[in-house]
């Protein structure tokens, strides 16, 4: 019985209609649960939507918890380890905000709005119901070393360029965080224009940073694409 439940709540295999229907229904529930976040006001309908969808999420979480040994394949330890897994924590973060009750007499409106915003993590719940996302996750796991090197390269480049610019044009940046912000925007070649170099040396550094940024940003895209194609090729 538990194994069949596990097969249903996991991503549907070819030929398992019940599992595919479950995945589709859960995706619909996730989308519906996000509707109240698109409005500033709260009303009875939105509260009902939140209440019903949260109950469904809780049931889904409990079903996954009682079948954790099939998921993690670590025996009884699975029931202890599962709540600390990334996807289980995402489930909890998307559920818990609905249980937070803030007294209207207390001036905690901003805190309440922030906690309410945590419900957006429900979007991440949808990742587990798609085979394509599952393939993408496997690609990230296999290519994590290469992606980690690229990430370290990007972070190092951002820190170095921000330190250089912070000292070359101290009057342009109020603090070091502004310099990091500029370096990140320049690295990704976005260029918002709210903070920019004014001296000749600063402009030269900006141009060099943008050119290197194109190469660094392109690296992870190539790694992920190659890994994705390799993963698809193995499944065929």
The pLDDT > 90 percentage for the chain reads 1
The CA distance from 3 to 11, in Å, is 14
With respect to residue 136, please indicate whether it lies within any of the assigned structural domains: no
Indicate if 187 and 104 belong to the same structural domain: no
Residue 105 has what pLDDT? 43
**Each residue of 9-28: b (16+ CB within 10 Å) or e?**
bbbbeeeeeebbebbeebee
Q: Do 78 and 173 lie in a common domain?
A: no
Question: Is 59 in the same domain as 156?
Answer: no
Residue where one domain finishes, among candidates 102, 129, 156:
129
Q: Domain count of the chain?
A: 2
Distances (CA, A) of 10 to 26, 72, 78, 119: 11, 13, 16, 22
Per-residue pLDDT at 102 exceeds 50? no
Name the band, by pLDDT with cuts 50, 70 and 90, for residue 206: confident
Whether the pLDDT of residue 110 is over 60: the answer is no
Residue with the two structure tokens 């009750």: 101
Provide the 10 A C-beta neighbour count for residue 113: 11
Domain residues for the domain of 150 are: 144-235
Residues 120 and 204 in one domain: no
Residues 161 and 209 in one domain: yes
CATH number of the CATH domain containing 211: 1.10.287.70
- Specify if 135 maps to a domain: no
User: Any residues with CB less than 8 A from the CB of 165 and at least 6 apart, and which?
Assistant: 172, 173, 179, 182, 183, 197, 202, 205
pTM surpassing 0.85? no
The pLDDT of residue 116 is 58
Q: How confident is the model at residue 108 (pLDDT cuts 50, 70, 90)?
A: very low
81, pLDDT greater than 80: yes
Confidence tier at 122 by pLDDT (50, 70, 90): low
- Whether residues 123 and 11 share a domain: the answer is yes
In a domain, 197, yes or no: yes
When mean pLDDT is compared over 6-20, 40-54, 111-125, the highest value belongs to 40-54
pLDDT tens figures, 181-196: 888 888 777 777 788 8
Q: State residue 137's pLDDT score.
A: 75
Is residue 87 pLDDT above 70, yes or no? Answer: yes
How far is C-alpha 87 from the geometric centre of its chain's CA atoms?
11
Q: What's the CA gap between 85 and 48, in Å, rounded?
A: 29
Higher pLDDT residue, 99 or 88?
88
Q: How many CA atoms within 13 Å lie on the side-chain side of 106?
A: 7
- Which of 213, 208, 206, 212 lies closest to 169, judged by CA? 206
**Separation between Cα atoms, residue 161 and residue 99, nearest integer Å:** 45
Domain boundary among 97, 129, 161: 129
Flag whether pLDDT at 40 surpasses 80: no
Alpha-carbon span 25 to 2, nearest angstrom: 20
User: What distances in angstroms separate CA 86 from CA 89, 108, 130, 151, one per listed residue?
Assistant: 5, 29, 17, 20
- Considering only residues 177 and 189, tell me which one the structure prediction assigns the higher pLDDT: 177
Closest to 206 (Cα-Cα) out of 222, 193, 218, 219: 193
- Domain boundary pick from 129, 153, 169: 129
pLDDT in the model for residue 99: 64
d(CA 56, CA 73): 25
């Amino acid at each position: 019985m538990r194994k069949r439940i596990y097969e249903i709540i996991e991503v549907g295999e070819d030929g398992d209609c019940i599992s595919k229907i479950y995945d589709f229904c859960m995706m619909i529930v996730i989308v519906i649960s996000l509707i109240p976040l698109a409005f500033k006001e709260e009303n009875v309908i939105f509260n009902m939507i939140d209440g019903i969808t949260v109950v469904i999420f809780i049931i889904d979480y409990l079903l996954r918890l009682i079948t954790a040994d099939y998921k993690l394949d670590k025996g009884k330890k699975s029931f202890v380890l599962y709540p600390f897994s990334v996807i289980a924590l995402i489930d909890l973060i998307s559920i818990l905000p609905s249980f937070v009750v803030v007294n209207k007499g207390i001036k905690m409106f901003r805190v309440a709005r922030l906690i309410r915003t945590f419900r957006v993590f429900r979007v991440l719940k949808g990742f587990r119901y798609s085979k394509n996302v599952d393939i993408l996750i496997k690609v990230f796991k296999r290519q994590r070393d290469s992606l980690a090197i690229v990430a370290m390269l990007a972070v190092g480049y951002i820190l170095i360029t921000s330190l250089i610019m912070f000292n070359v044009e101290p009057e342009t940046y109020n603090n070091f965080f502004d310099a990091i912000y500029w370096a990140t925007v320049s690295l990704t070649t976005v260029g918002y224009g709210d903070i920019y170099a004014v001296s000749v040396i600063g402009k030269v550094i900006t141009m060099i940073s943008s050119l290197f940024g194109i190469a660094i940003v392109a690296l992870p895209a190539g790694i992920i694409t190659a890994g994705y194609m390799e993963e698809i090729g193995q499944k065929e």
